[in-house]
Structures are given as C-alpha cells and as structure tokens.
Amino acid sequence: MPVRNADIAAVFDEIADILEVEGANPYRIRAYRNAARTVGAYGQDIAALLGGGGTLPKLPGIGADLSAKIAEIAATGTCALRERLRREIPATLVALLQVAGIGPKRAKLLYHDLGIETEAQLLEAARAGRLRRVHGFGEKTERKLIDALQTRLASDRRVPIGHAAVAVDDLLAALRACSGVRSITVCGSFRRMRDTVGDIDLLAVSERPAAVMRCFTGHASVRDVLAQGPARATVVLRSGLQVDLRAIAPESAGAALVYFTGSKAHNIAVRRIAQQRGLKLNEYGVFRGTRRIAGETEASVYRALGLPLIPPELRENRGEIELAAQGRLPELIGRKDLRGDLHVHTRSSDGTADLAVMAEAARSAGLEYLAITDHSRHLRIAHGLDEKRLLRQMAEIDALNARLEGITLLTGVEVDILEDGRLDLPDRVLARLDVVVGAVHDHLGLPRRRQTQRLQRALAHPHLRILAHPTCRLIGEREPIDVDMSVVIACAAEHGRWLELDAQPLRMDLTDRDCEQAHAQGVRISIASDAHGPRDFLWLDYGVGQARRAGLRASDVVNTWPLAALRKALR
C-alpha cells in the first residue's frame, strides 16, 4: 500500500495523542501536531517524491528529527517512536481524550489509580461512584462524565456548514433582538467557511453582557447549559449542536473577532508576531504594556502587527501570514462576483420546480445566466433524460429565453459517466448543447486505478466541459471515491476542462485543498449550486466560501465571467 501524506499525518497525530497522555513536554506535542497539519496539507505526494529520489524542501516547523521520521514513515508506513509508544499506552486510553472533561492528566490518573482504559470502563466506574475516590474528582465531575459519555456518540459528529446555518437561525434572530446587543457574529470554523463545523461560536458585542447571557441560556432551542459565566457560556441545542457565546465590549470587538474566529494555529502565529514586536495580543486588544493600542476592529489589530486584514477564510496558518506580510494576499472572489450557475435541475429529472421557476429564482439570487443540467437516462432513479426528452427541453429553453428578461438560460445536461468512462448520451446530442457537465453516480467502489482511468477518459471526451462533484463524497454519509486527484487535475489541465465546486451542503466537492491544487495547475473552477429547487441557490454562499479558502480570485471561476466571454470559452 502506498503511504499517502494523510497517513504520515495520522502517525504524527497518534504520537501527539500518546505523548499527551504521557504528560510529555507540551511544545514537543505541538511540534508533532503542527507537523501533522503541514504534511497533511502538503501539495505533492511525499512518499512518491522521496521514493523517486527527490528531497523534501524545508517546511516550517519540520527540522532534522521530523524530516527523518517523515522519510521513515514514507518508506515503512510507521516509525519506531510510534511503535514504542503504542506498547506503553493502550490505544483505547488515548481515545478517552475525546470525552468532554477528560484531558491528558485525568486520563493518566484514571489509568494509574483505577486501571481505566476504555470509555465503557469509565462509564461503569462513574456509575458505581468509584471516580470520586480519585484525587481531583468529585460527585459533580462524575455526573458530568456520565452525561458526556452517554451523549457522546450522538453529538460528536461534525455538521455540514449549510445545515448548521439552518440550525442556529432562530437563536441568532433572538439574540440580535435582545436589548443592548450591538452585533452578533458567527465566528469559528463557520466564519472561516469550513465545509463542516463541530460547534457554533458566537460573539456578542454588547455593553450589557449579563442580559445577553440570560437571553442566550434561556432560549427555547437550548437543551442544556454546560457552562455559564459573566463573559462566556456554552449550551447544547435540542438539535445536539453545541453553541458557545462570548460577550465582549465594543472597544474590544475586533480583537475578540480575531480570537474567536481562529483558527487556533492562526491565533498562535499572530500572537507570536505581537510578542516579537514587544506587544501582547489577547481577545481584548493589542497591548503595549498595559496600554491598549488596537482592538476595536479586526483591521486595527492586524495593522498594529504590521499586517493587512487577512480574510477569515484564509486564517489557517497555511502561509497566509507570510503572504500578508509581503502584501501578496489574493483579491478573493466574493458572492457578488457570481453571474451564473452551470449546474441545476428541474422537474424533468429529480428537481422540484420547472424551468420558469428556476429561472426566476436564479434571477432573484442576482444571477444573469443559468445552465439547465438535468440528469441523463442512465440515472433512472432521477428520471434521467434520453435524447428525445433532452431535445424537447432544449426547444422549451429556446422558447422561454425569448420571453425571459434579466436572465438567460443555457442548454445543458449532467450526463452520467459510465463505468468505463464513456458518456451516457450520443455525441450528436451532446454537440448541440451549450454546456455538458459530466458526473459519476454509480460504481463508486472501483479500485483507484480504474476509477482514475474512468475520469481520465471522460475528461478527454471532446464534448465534456465540466466534471461535476469530482470526489462524489457525501459528508458524514459516504466516503469520496478512491481516485488519484492529482492525475485527474493534470488531465483536466491538459484538456482545458473545468472542475466543479459543488456547493450542496452534503457535497462541498471539490474540497478546499483539491480546489487549491487545481488552481495551482491552472484549472478553472465552476462554483455550482447543484440546485434541485428554487431555494437552493443560497448554497452558492458556501461554495464561494470554500473557493475563498482555496485562494481563488473571481477570474479563476468561470461563472463569474460575463455571458459573452463564457459562451466564447464554451465554443
């Protein structure tokens, strides 16, 4: 089995986990965590690079020791340190760190004092009242752990960002209406527009924090209050989603936004910059000694550190701070840049609305053109169109275009890519369409080589223009297909094909990293709603967010182009 970058990252993360339980130097643990992130995000396949006689360039946070371990893992799949650590600490004990309220110190203590190695044993001991015999544990901790263990399975999954947005809608409206509130901002991974969120982080700017806290913990959607103080509170909603609220005074709003938006790695990096300049950065502002010199806005915080404002989507400590320092941050695409959508469905296949309704909804969403791309015949479950029905739809679109104002419909199809890479409709009909979007919907389990060849063949087809939802993943429900994405991207680049960033909440496919790779290879991206109904165009917000995470400018995204330019490119 070839060793992928993700495998190397997993080894480092496991080492960090075990070292935590062992109570090792926290900075050594951080070094392994950072290395895991760096390796996991690295663009090239490291094992292939080293195996081919290449050398790994100097990466931040990776010195002589970690490079040697990377080489060892790339060659063997593991490393001596991990094997040794595994013999010292049971793997199930490491898993205990996932339980809320259990950190490395307590895990170690439980292991030594009570011999507890698994979640099941922990639950049993807590129920039997044995935990309170351990130093630092009491009745209350025991009860909390029982709760945490019982609800863990149901509540620890990350939620697609589009679903989380819906889940906190009511709560946000209530908080914004609360007296004394100047603003409520969703921060955390939501504001960074990650494809999933683990919890929701809210920042309330207010001069009367106590009132906001009461409004928050007393809201009808709240099931449990986990923690509550004058400045912050944590609740669990009835939906199972955890929400943190932090209240802050207006003069500190910007610093608090930076702090609460993260990422953690970005925060650590900018605080280090503050330190190097003889300053201190915390959620209340930037301080020289005890004097606050910035903090009311995010821009003021970054300015005090000698940096331009860094967009939230880039704050992952993946090089954005260096780019900012050099004045080379990209001018990121925004939602308003989108002029069209090149992948939507109607009632003709599995959509819920007809052509005119979808056209009107797209126009209301600020779009100027819309490609109608219903499924093709092979996808029977979605009533896919055969040649005859597709030709009829094309005629309807022509007729409708004559009447429509402010929006233009393009003819198209989401044609199935068959198991062998051929397309599901004859060339003579594909040739007559404005845009052909190709997608895989079955044989998702093909081995890597065959799946990759299948996509290569499809991309080489003269009429295919866009590869839709390239990895076919459904977040939390279905793993991505096993495909060599670097080969697919290279193939798209070679043939001048475009890759889709499908913004359906469950898909968000391409991922931010793949999108970044595609961009680096010069491949254009189509941000598509894959709408099946008139309200689904709001998903485009999340697609744009993901594209921003990948560092895309408007010009990199084909559906920002004016219709004339797009038509020219399509010919």
Partner DNA sequence: GCCGTTTTCGGCCCGACTGTTTTCAGTCG
Place of tokens 């990252």: 9
In the complex, least distance from residue 164 CB atom to DNA, rounded to whole angstroms: 15
In the complex, least distance from residue 238 CB atom to DNA, rounded to whole angstroms: 19
Q: Which is nearer to DNA, 99 or 488 (CB)?
A: 99
Q: How far is CA 310 from CA 196, 303, 305, 350, in A?
A: 21, 10, 12, 41
Contact between residue 230 and residue 213 where contact means Cβ atoms under 8 Å apart: yes
- Strand 525-528, strand 196-197: pairing: unpaired
Q: Which is nearer to DNA, 51 or 103 (CB)?
A: 103
Sign of CA pseudo-dihedral 244, 31, 258, 518: negative
- Encoding tokens for residue 298? 């995010």
In the complex, least distance from residue 243 CB atom to DNA, rounded to whole angstroms: 11
In the complex, least distance from residue 538 CB atom to DNA, rounded to whole angstroms: 27
E strand or H helix at 56: none
In the complex, least distance from residue 149 CB atom to DNA, rounded to whole angstroms: 12
In the complex, least distance from residue 45 CB atom to DNA, rounded to whole angstroms: 21
Q: Which is nearer to DNA, 149 or 367 (CB)?
A: 149
Question: Helix/strand/coil (H, E, C) string of 474-534?
Answer: ECCCECCCCCCHHHHHHHHHHHCCEEEEECCCCCCECCHHHHHHHHHCCCCEEEECCECCH
In the complex, least distance from residue 332 CB atom to DNA, rounded to whole angstroms: 25
* Edge-to-edge order in the sheet of strand 498-502: 340-344, 369-372, 408-416, 435-439, 466-467, 498-502, 525-528
In the complex, least distance from residue 267 CB atom to DNA, rounded to whole angstroms: 5
Q: Which is nearer to DNA, 48 or 225 (CB)?
A: 225
Q: Residue-wise over 391-423: b if at least 16 C-beta within 10 A, else e?
A: eebbebbeebeeebeebbbbbbbbbbbbeebeb
Cα–Cα nearest to 167, from 218, 221, 120: 221
In the complex, least distance from residue 458 CB atom to DNA, rounded to whole angstroms: 42
Q: Which is nearer to DNA, 286 or 552 (CB)?
A: 286
Q: Which is nearer to DNA, 203 or 475 (CB)?
A: 203
E strand or H helix at 379: none
**Where on the chain is the footprint of DNA (CB under 7 A)?**
25, 27-28, 30-32, 60-67, 81, 97, 99-107, 132, 135-142, 144, 188, 199, 201, 227-233, 242, 244, 260, 264, 267-268, 271-272, 274-275, 280-284
Beta strands in 319-368 (DSSP E): 340-344
Question: Helix/strand/coil (H, E, C) string of 10-46?
Answer: HHHHHHHHHHHHHCCCHHHHHHHHHHHHHHHCCCCCH
Q: Which is nearer to DNA, 101 or 476 (CB)?
A: 101
Cα–Cα nearest to 323, from 280, 269, 255, 274: 269
Q: Which is nearer to DNA, 144 or 450 (CB)?
A: 144
Q: Which is nearer to DNA, 81 or 400 (CB)?
A: 81
Q: At what angle do helices 485-495 and 512-520 cross, to 10 degrees?
A: 40
Residues with Cβ < 8 Å from 332, sequence gap 6 or more?
311, 313, 314, 547, 548, 551, 552, 553
Peptide bond into 263 cis (omega under 30): yes
Q: What amino acid occupies position 318?
A: R
Q: Which residues pair with 423 in a beta bridge?
A: 417
Separation of alpha carbons 226 and 325, rounded Å:
40
Separation of alpha carbons 58 and 55, rounded Å:
9
Q: Which is nearer to DNA, 33 or 524 (CB)?
A: 33
In the complex, least distance from residue 209 CB atom to DNA, rounded to whole angstroms: 9
- Displacement of CA 317 from its chain's centroid (Å): 15
In the complex, least distance from residue 42 CB atom to DNA, rounded to whole angstroms: 14
In the complex, least distance from residue 60 CB atom to DNA, rounded to whole angstroms: 5
Q: Which is nearer to DNA, 143 or 568 (CB)?
A: 143
Q: Which is nearer to DNA, 64 or 154 (CB)?
A: 64
In the complex, least distance from residue 541 CB atom to DNA, rounded to whole angstroms: 23
Q: Which is nearer to DNA, 25 or 571 (CB)?
A: 25
In degrees to the nearest 10, what's the CA dihedral of 144, 145, 148, 151? -100
